[in-house]
């Protein structure tokens, strides 16, 4: 949207309003179209993921970007026409029913049938671009970003997979203490989830019963080892039994 508005402001003021809007669309329309299309396709690829949450998010994001593009090239263009007409008629933006006298808006400079560039445009042209064009600055910029790229490649293997529950929850959530304790004292690996599709309830129940039976056999085997090793130390055995009450 900002690109389109800026393109309209760069058009010669001697042209009619419709001509300026048309030239602006010709100038930045292809870029907006290609950028929006690439974003839509990128999110659309995510809709093929089997994970339901990611698939739904990708579908909604692709639809949102597509609708945003359609609104930009239709409704937003119409709103730009109304806003420029309001400004040329010297009407207040928030209160278009009020008209400002012409003497108070004559300070707007027009250079070569174009509006004079704003403060940010002058900074980019007179300061930022000139500094970046210096040879020493070019070397420093390339060196800094090359260093960041190499450091990112070297450290990417240290990123732990998954998302910590403490990050997903609000800081004042009552579950923060619980997840902190689990992370500190009972960290045994990531949680196990079953994602099934078109399943048979009876078959799943049979599998779950078999899994529970195998886990109970494992518990009995571990109980024998723990009791044999720490049977004389009752405090260890009580602690072990307390922990197992949460696991089984």
Q: Is the pLDDT of residue 233 over 60?
A: no
Q: Within a domain: residue 33?
A: yes
Q: Within a domain: residue 140?
A: no
Q: Within a domain: residue 150?
A: no
Which pLDDT band, with edges at 50, 70 and 90, does 183 fall under? confident
Q: What pTM was estimated for this model as a whole?
A: 0.52
Tell me the residue length of the chain.
Answer: 248
Please answer whether residues 45 and 144 qualify as being in contact, where contact means their C-beta atoms are separated by less than 8 angstroms: no
Q: Select from 115, 148, 181 the last residue of a domain.
A: 115
Bridge partners for 39 per DSSP: none
DSSP assignment of 96-153 equals: TTSB--GGGGTT--EETTEEPP-HHHHHIIIIIHHHHTSHHHHHHHHHHHHHHHHHHH
Give 152: exposed, middle or buried? Use CB within 10 Å, 0-12, 13-18, 19+: exposed
Q: Select from 115, 131, 163 the last residue of a domain.
A: 115
For residue 211, give its domain range: 194-248
d(CA 177, CA 170): 12
**Which residues, including other chains, have CB under 8 Å from residue 167's CB and lie 6 or more apart?**
none
CA dist list (Å): 153 to 144, 157, 160, 246: 14, 8, 15, 41
Number of domains in the chain: 2
d(CA 223, CA 217): 10
DSSP assignment of 191-222 equals: ------SS--HHHHHHHHHHHHHHHHHHHHHH
User: How much is the pLDDT for 66?
Assistant: 93
Q: What token pair was written down for 209? A: 């019963």
Q: Within a domain: residue 107?
A: yes
d(CA 100, CA 89): 9
In the chain, what percentage of residues exceed pLDDT 70?
73
Q: Within a domain: residue 50?
A: yes
Q: Select from 93, 115, 137 the last residue of a domain.
A: 115
Summarised one tens digit per residue, pLDDT across range 93-120 is 777 777 777 655 444 445 445 566 667 7
- Report which DSSP code applies to 231: T
Q: Within a domain: residue 141?
A: no
Q: What angle do CA 217, 218, 219 make, to 5 degrees?
A: 90
10 and 109 in a single domain? The answer is: yes
8 and 110 in a single domain? The answer is: yes
Summarised one tens digit per residue, pLDDT across range 52-96 is 778 889 999 999 999 999 998 888 888 888 888 887 777 777 777
Q: Within a domain: residue 136?
A: no
Spell out a b/e string for 15-54, using b for 16 or more CB atoms within 10 Å of the CB, else e.
eeeeebbebbbeebbeebeeebeebbeebbebbeeeeeee
Q: Within a domain: residue 65?
A: yes
199 and 106 in a single domain? The answer is: no
**Which residues, including other chains, have CB under 8 Å from residue 71's CB and lie 6 or more apart?**
none
User: How much is the pLDDT for 248?
Assistant: 47
């Amino acid at each position: 949207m900002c690109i389109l508005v800026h393109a309209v402001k760069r058009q010669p003021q001697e042209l009619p309003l419709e001509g300026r809007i048309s030239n602006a669309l010709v100038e930045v329309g292809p870029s907006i179209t290609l950028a929006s299309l690439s974003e839509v396709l990128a999110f659309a690829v995510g809709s093929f993921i089997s994970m339901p949450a990611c698939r739904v998010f990708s579908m909604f994001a692709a639809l949102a970007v597509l609708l945003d593009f359609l609104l930009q090239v239709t409704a937003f263009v119409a709103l730009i026409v109304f806003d420029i007409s309001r400004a040329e008629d010297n009407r207040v933006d928030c209160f278009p029913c009020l008209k400002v006298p012409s003497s108070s808006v004559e300070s707007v400079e027009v250079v070569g049938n174009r509006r004079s560039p704003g403060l940010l445009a002058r900074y980019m042209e007179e300061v930022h671009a000139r500094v970046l064009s210096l040879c020493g600055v070019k070397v420093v910029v390339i060196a800094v970003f090359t260093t960041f790229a190499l450091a990112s490649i070297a450290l990417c293997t240290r990123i732990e997979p998954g998302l910590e529950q403490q990050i997903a929850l609000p800081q004042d959530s009552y579950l923060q203490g619980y997840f902190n304790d689990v992370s500190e004292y009972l960290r045994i690996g990531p949680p196990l989830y079953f994602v099934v599709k078109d399943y048979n309830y009876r078959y799943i129940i049979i599998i779950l019963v078999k899994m529970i039976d195998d886990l109970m056999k494992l518990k009995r085997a571990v109980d024998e080892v723990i009791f044999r090793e720490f049977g004389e130390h009752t405090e260890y055995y009580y602690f072990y039994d307390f922990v197992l009450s949460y696991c089984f």
